[in-house]
Structure 1
Amino acid sequence: MKEKFIRFMQGRYGGADKLNTHLMYLLFILAIIVLFTSSKVCMILSLLLMIYIYFRIFSRNIYKRYQENQKYLQLIAPITKKVNFFKNKRKDKTHKYYKCPTCKQVVRVPKGRGKIEISCPKCNTKFIKRT
């Protein structure tokens, strides 16, 4: 049975990408909403979403599914970038982060130095901040 499934999935997209993962999360949230509210609209939307997810998984047009995922990744890139920045900023206990008032470049400086003059590496603007 396992070999039959492997043969069936050969040449198919498979769907282990970011778009399908996020669609699955959305489907899970819609399923919870349907569970508590019995909303017909959410039920139909979740059914259509499930059909679309299975369509992407079993699709033989790998290039097209890959392009869809790349467009989605470009769409969410600014959000992902901000989330990763805040995650790294929260983990970093030895540095503070400031934005340059001129070019908005993020500058990392060590904590515990008092008032220091910070020089932006991009535009060479100098500004004073407390660390």
Structure 2
Amino acid sequence: MNKFQNAVYQFMLGRYGSDQFNVFLVILAIVLMILNLFFIRNSFLSAIVWLILIYSLYRIYSRNIYRRRAENDKYLSIIQPIQKRISMIKKNREDHEHKYFLCPECKQTVRVPRGHGKITITCPKCSHKFDKKS
């Protein structure tokens, strides 16, 4: 077994491997495959699933690390605002003593106490002032 592990390790040297974008592609392919299997039954959608999976494998075994990293960074820059909003909603649900806002200028998370009515909030990062109801 040790020989096999060494062979796989040698094969993967200098290759990109998996990242967040690859995980997204595989999950997207699985969701589309399930939709195609039970609801849609379309050969065109099946071809798209195969193309997504092939592209994912291409990214894993690619030696162009710079390009794959740039693709992942672009994906993260698209998904980060969505994740930040979801995190904000989650924090506001869980914390009953504070309310969380995003600064309109720099998107910094700002925490203020609840129940103080309409207040002016100053962002600690960029010093931008904005009015919100706590």
TM-score by length of 2: 0.76
Aligned to 1:78: 81
User: Are the equivalent residues in 1 in contact too, given 2:88–2:101 (CA < 8 A)?
Assistant: no
- What is the CA RMSD across the aligned residues, in angstroms? 2.7
Q: Does 1:60 align with 2:60?
A: no
Distance 1:42 1:5 in 2: 33
Equivalence for 1:7:
10
Deviation, 1:124, is 5.2
- TM-aligned CA deviation for residue 90 of structure 1: 1.8
Unaligned runs of 5+ in 2: none
Count matched residues: 123
What is the match of residue 90 of structure 2? 87
Query: Residue 37 of structure 2 corresponds to which residue in structure 1?
Result: 35
- Gaps spanning 5+ residues in structure 1: where? none
Distance in structure 2 (CA, Å) of the matches to 1:75 and 1:98: 20
* Overall identity of the aligned pairs, in %: 39
Partner of 1:119: 120
- Aligned AA (1:64): R
Report the Cα offset of residue 72 of structure 1.
1.4
Letter in 2 for 1:93: H
> Residue 19 of structure 1 contacts residue 69 of structure 1 at CA under 8 Å; is this kept in 2?
yes
Per the alignment, residue 44 of structure 1 pairs with 47
Task: State the partner residue of 1:24.
Answer: 26
CA apart distance, 1:123: 5.0
TM-score (ref. length: structure 1): 0.77
Task: Report the more deviating stretch, 91-100 or 28-37.
Answer: 91-100
Rg larger in structure: 1
Shift of 1:12: 0.4
Tell me which stretches of 4 or more aligned residues in structure 1 moved more than 6 Å. Answer: none
| 3-state DSSP of counterpart to 1:22 | helix
Q: Which amino acid aligns with 1:73?
A: L
